[in-house]
Structure 1
Amino acid sequence: MLLDVSNAARLDAIANDRSRQLKHTQRARIVLLSAERLNVQDVARRAGVSRPAV
């Protein structure tokens, strides 16, 4: 998956926004980590979620 700079910046802002719901920040982190082409287990570990959540 390729993310352009503007979408990556938006997702980064969501992932780091403490006033957003946890599910939204986790989803943003999952997408950002997936864009780095990490495997599912690494994405889950780094995002702090289970493998099925990824």
Structure 2
Amino acid sequence: MVERFFAELTSQVIVRGSFRSVPALVADITRWIGERNGNPRPYRWHADAQKTLEKIYRAWEALLTVCYSNYNTGH
């Protein structure tokens, strides 16, 4: 859930903003957090645990394939 918070902060404040100084950036981040806390919405996890584990396993298998291939070719 922390990742989702920082993704929203990045897309809604940092990417859209133009900051002339670090204090200006900090002020915009503080303002955004204050607005968000004024109307809080919980982050909810909707993914199925089994599907998430299957996705992780597929990624792990793909990574092993690449690593094994690179090992055999000397790269």
Bigger RCO of structures 1 and 2 (CA < 8 A, at least 6 apart): 2
Say yes or no: TM over 0.5. no
TM-score normalised by L of structure 2 = 0.25
The structure with the largest alpha-carbon Rg is: 2
Q: Which has the higher helix share?
A: 2
